[in-house]
Structure 1
Amino acid sequence: MTLEPVLMLTLQVGVPALLSLLLSLACEPLVQPRPAPFRQRSRATLSIHVGTWLVLYALALLVLQRGWLSAGLLNVLYLVVIQSCRSKWDSLKEPFLVQDFEYFLDAIRHPRLYVPFFGLGLAIAASTSGAAAFLAFLWWEPSLITTHGAMVWLLCVASIGGSGALLLGTGLTRLPSVTLDPQTDLHRHGMISYFWAYGLYPTEPLDPSLVPDCLREPHRTASPGSPSSESLSKESLSKESLPNMVIVQSEAFFDPREWQPDLPRDLLPNWDRMRMQALASGPLRVPVWGANTVRSEAAFLTGIDNAALGMHRFMPYRPMASQAIPNLVSALKQIGYRCVALHPYPASFYDRERVMPMLGFDEFIDISSFDVAERDGQYISDKAVARKVHELLAQGSGVQETGPRETGPKETGPQENEQPLMVFVITMENHGPLHLEPASSEWRNRIPHHIETRLQQRDADTLSVYLRHLHNADSMLGELRDSLIEQPRHGLLCWYGDHVPIMEAVYESLGEPSGDTHYLVWSTRDACQPTTMTTAPTKIECLAQRLWQDLAQRQTLRDQAESHQTESERTAPRAAHGTQQQGFELQEQQ
């Protein structure tokens, strides 16, 4: 081979490979949170970065047969990942994870949930310019097969790919260990080595012993803190004595008046009233900020601390899609419950269509059971979801719905009291991106002036949109309370927020909330114990145990509570299974 072909090959393959590698090293400091400089990290991380880049370049060269096009495409994709890291850190306070790459497919299926956080204008500009550049290089740059022949092209691919694989393999054998704290590990490893470390981290099946005893062996153990050592078994619990249970994981619900005390005091009227009547209420410590709902969801249902899941903590539903593990649903089914999951979004999202049956749900109702006209804003309204829950409760009790809802006992069918019902609800109305929805003047005007003046107009609109949907969630809470009171069977309601909302620009101006959400546990019966209102956060993985504890206490004290019921209470205006006061309140409302 003469000098001229060698020089041309160097310009077509070697130079773009070197420049793209140097550009990737120069761009790594753009990642948020920022990794440590290479000089402060293990040498293995540099070897892994260079080796990975050369292997990827060789693969691109194998497919595209053009050096400059391969280098350009590689750097563009690298910048997309960097921007994704920055966007996730700004919105969710968590670095981009190797597990997050599968969200790129979700972004295609559900673009509204993801693309706006990346930046809609940036996404359009990057896609358009990237496509134009790709086509231009494809037309302008000649193929290596055409200019040098297939043998030379394959030799280039093999030499570059082989060198990269050697460097990568050497680096991986000396890869530093990880802590599973993404911020710490990204800082210590750098982005590419951090991805490799998390991708290669060993994963094992979930350990059932991590599930609390009361959920793992419901027939043998009472719940922690129960006043009785009696087990919750089919022998000690009649189905008639068990309450209907409605559990609501309310999207982005928390009481923002604790964060900004000057927000309207009447923002959450039903919440305020029920919190005073609740068996328990207070702040809730959740494992996420702004998103990743399934981490809160899995912690609640299984009672397992998110940190105890190892690498599964980031995607807890991945192993649960193929592994049955004891949980609240399976425990309730063992004592006679029929369990229904309700989520007004496609069942395929987060693989819930596989996970929910594995958890033990008898039925999973998704968005296909709703009409597009039932939206409020971008998603199915909380009001429509409350209506669906009411229908499930009425069907379960045999109540014949023939007209407007009324107070008092209903005409019931033969299925009355045969099987208690548990409905687990995952709402969507208050899901972001909030800034895509126009603000209503009514709610914009309800923001106190001194708060509004500290915000940009767009950010004030975002806050007003959130507050409006939050108020709608409170209305749903009141509707569920009324539905439970109306049923022949008494009821238990658990309500909690999965995470705080994504409003990063608002937080920059007003300060960040703690990250805790709020919860309450409420019953249609008089509480069998004094109301517990806590100021210290309750961990979400302990909340299901709290519900189980209430079932144990209620069975033990049921006869005693009923024996103290006076004749005046029996004849006072009330619903089928509400307290006297609840009966008066419901009568006044209707």
Structure 2
Amino acid sequence: MSFLLEYWLSPKPIPVWKRPLSTALIHIGLWGICFALLLVLLQRPWFAVINLLAFQLLLVLVNQAKFDSLREPFIFQDFEYFTDALKHPRLYLPFFGVARTIAATLGFIGAFVIGIALEPSLVATLTPPVFILVPVVLVLSGQQMVRWGLRRCPAISCRPAEDLMALGQLAFFYGYWRMERLTRQLDSQDTAFLNPPVRAPESLPHMVAVQSESFFDPRGLSDNIRRSVLEQFDTALSESCQYGRLQVPAWGANTVRTECGFLAGLTAGQMGIHQFNPYRLLANHSIPNLVGYLKVAGYRTLCIHPYHASFYQRDKVFPRMGFDEFIDLSGFDDSQKSGQFIGDLAIADKIQALLETAGQPLFIFVITMENHGPLHLEQPGPNAHEQCYHKPPEQGCEDLTVYLQHLQNADLKIRKLKDSLVASRREGVLCWYGDHVPIMEKVYQKFGEPDGLTEYFVWRTPGANKAPPVQENLAVNELAVALLKYADLHQSNQS
């Protein structure tokens, strides 16, 4: 039954009889260990079997929901999202489905009650030594099977879809867990964030870097979308030092991957198994990064993220990176929301106040939330169609309309940030980029999927001898170096 459930995974693994025997040994060994642990806890073998299969079925359903939304299967590193879903249900449960969640919960409770009532406990039928011996033998046998399987198990490629198809579900989970446990360092030898230049504090420009939630240019999806939706963005591109399209390691979610790529300047290959959630490692390990580089150069470093500081363990990671201050959700109030989350314009006001009172050069890194899904939990405003489209949109565009409304606020935020930097007492540099495209399944079914790239620009306050903007596509791990270049703060590591 456990192997049969793999048939409903997306993508579907190779049939077990066509996979290497090693993957089957790992699967059976792990299943036996889990069964033994449940047997000790529940004392009822058939009830333990049913619970174990039910949990595997839940993982299959979660895998389907994730693959449909994010084009990636459920991986071992995602298990911590189960606790996040309890803490922040609005971010997760709508994608799994409220009805599916309620049905799974009621089904589990009902099965638990029936299982306890109908199946007698082994403690009542077996002597204590025999009851203890059975799970011990199962655990030892399972461990040995896993050891045999590891000897010839195919190597992990860190391409989740390929690994799931090659290994099967349990060996796939185990391989990612084992690799993460054995690999506790990131390859940061060629980092650009060493040897910051020595500059007089008064010559350092303010720097604001905005990771705009789900920001990309959607006007290519349909000619019906008004160009004015991103009017200020278009102006910023024409005035920028450099702009282009940005390759990001995320689709629809997993903001932390893009975030770490920008701050640490590392490729997915350099992060290896930690590319999927690098903060699981960086909560306890420090590496060279943009924040520490600028702090040594003389900056006061701040992060603004209007959400819970503990999410993704940012409250542990950011002090290690070198942030002097982390302004989280507690720095705002409900009156500053736009839709489900704190609005972009409220963040712009916060940045303006910080720049007005700054006594030293500031580096402000912003992680916005306004455009975070689930978009289908909101309804378009009364004038949304007139503001966003040339003519009323087709059915199935509700998520797009909500997205465009929030995108207009992000667009206005660009102008406010530029104005705030111009008004400050020193020069300023603004870096703007999107972390990933939004989740809009119905919209993409109608108009076609975007290519997954987002947009970026680096803008500097007006000065003499300004050159025409450079158009260049980048990977997100290259963007911070471009930012330092236009702030006159990039220095080669070679000396």
TM-score by length of 1: 0.80
**Residue 541 of structure 1 corresponds to which residue in structure 2?**
477
Identify if the C-alpha distance between structure 1 residues 100 and 42 changes in structure 2 by more than 3 Å, giving closer, same or farther: same
Q: Show structure 1 runs of 5+ residues with no match.
A: 1-22, 219-231, 397-414, 556-590
Q: SS at 1:266's partner residue?
A: helix
Contact 1:444–1:461 (Cα < 8 Å) also in 2: no
Aligned match of 1:297 in 259, 265, 269?
Answer: 259
Which one of the candidate residues 38, 49, 54 is aligned to 1:76? 54
Q: In structure 1, give the amino acid aligned to 2:478.
A: C
CA offset at residue 362 of structure 1?
0.9
State the 1:158 CA deviation. 3.1
The range that moved more, 257-266 or 425-434, is 257-266
Aligned to 1:578: none
Q: Is 2:172 aligned against 1:205?
A: no
Q: Which residue does 2:74 correspond to in 1?
A: 96
Moved more, 256-265 or 340-349: 256-265
Show the counterpart of 1:441.
382
Match status 1:514 vs 2:457: no
Kindly provide the amino acid, as one letter, of the partner of residue 338 in structure 1: R
2:422 corresponds to 1:422: no
Give the whole-Å Cα distance in 2 for the aligned partners of 1:171 and 1:533.
53
Aligned-pair CA distance for 1:39: 2.3
Q: 2:407 aligns with which of 463, 470, 477?
A: 470
Distance change >3 Å, CA 72–CA 450, structure 1 → 2:
farther
Distance, in Å, in 2 between the alignment partners of 1:323 and 1:499 is 26
Structure 2 partner of 1:59: 37
Cα distance in 2 for residues equivalent to 1:528 and 1:318? 45
Partner residue, 1:489: 426
Q: Does residue 155 in structure 1 map to residue 155 in structure 2?
A: no
CA drift of 1:422 comes to 1.1
Going from structure 1 to structure 2, the CA distance change for 1:164 and 1:330 (only over 3 Å counts) comes to closer
The structural deviation recorded for 1:259 is 3.4
1:210-289 map, 5 Å: 210-212=190-192, 215-218=193-196, 232-233=197-198, 237-289=199-251
Where structure 2 has 5 or more consecutive residues not aligned to the other structure, the ranges are none
| Residue 525 (1) aligns with residue 487 (2) | no
Alignment partners' CA distance in 2, 1:63 and 1:528: 74
Residue 14 (structure 1) aligns with:
none
Q: Does 1:377 align with 2:336?
A: no
Query: Is the CA contact (8 Å cut-off) linking 1:516 and 1:537 kept in structure 2?
Result: no
1:26 & 1:206 partners in 2: Cα distance?
37
1:529 Cα deviation after fit:
4.6
Letter in 2 for 1:211: T
Output the amino acid matched with 2:76.
V
Would the aligned equivalents of 1:206 and 1:319 in 2 still touch at CA under 8 Å? no
Tell me, in whole angstroms, the C-alpha distance in 2 between the residues paired with 1:304 and 1:509.
35
Cα distance in 2 for partners of 1:528, 1:86 equals 54
Q: Number of matched residues?
A: 489
Contact 2:186 2:270 in 1 (8 A): no
| Distance across 1 between alignment mates of 2:138 and 2:487 | 65
Task: Please tell me whether Structure 1 or Structure 2 has the larger radius of gyration of its CA atoms.
Answer: 1
Return closer, same or farther for 1:240/1:31 CA change in 2, 3 Å cut-off.
same
CA shift in 2, pair 1:259/1:216, >3 Å: farther
Q: Which moved more, 1:172-181 or 1:438-447?
A: 438-447
Per chain length, whose mean CA-contact separation is higher, i.e. which structure has more relative contact order (CA < 8 Å, sep 6+)?
Answer: 2
In the other structure, the counterpart of 2:17 is 39
Q: Shift of residue 95 of structure 1? A: 1.6
Cα distance change, pair 554–200 in 1 and its aligned pair in 2 (3 A): closer
Amino acid aligned to 2:185: P
* Counterpart Cα distance in 1 of 2:20 and 2:386: 55
Q: More deviation in 311-320 or 94-103?
A: 311-320
| CA distances 1:324-364 after superposition (whole Å, capped 9, x unpaired) | 22221122122211111111011101111111111111111
> 1:553: Cα distance to partner?
8.2
Mapping 1:63-212, distance limit 5 Å: 63-201=41-179, 202-212=182-192
TM-score with structure 2 setting the length: 0.94
Give the superposition deviation at 1:532: 2.8
Quick one: distance in 2 between partners of 1:388 and 1:449?
34
Q: Which amino acid aligns with 2:324?
A: D
* Cα distance per residue 1:279-317 (max 9 Å; x no partner): 111111111111111111111112111221111111212
Residue 554 of structure 1: CA displacement? Answer: 11
Q: Separation in 2 of the partners of 1:272 and 1:506? A: 24
Asked if the contact 1:251/1:497 (under 8 Å) is kept, the reply is: yes
The residue type paired with residue 328 of structure 1 is L
Letter in 1 for 2:320: M
Percent identical across equivalent pairs? 43
Maintained 8 Å contact 2:232/2:414: yes
The Cα shift of 1:433 comes to 0.9
The SS at the match of 1:423 is strand
1:33-69 superposed Cα distances (whole Å, 9 cap, x missing partner): 1111112210111111122112111111111001221
Which residue identity does 2:430 align to in structure 1?
Answer: L
C-alpha separation in 1, matches of 2:47 and 2:66: 29
Query: Residues of 1 paired with 2:44 and 2:69: CA distance?
Result: 38
Quickly say closer, same or farther: Cα 1:27–1:553, change in 2 above 3 A: closer
State the partner residue of 2:315: 353
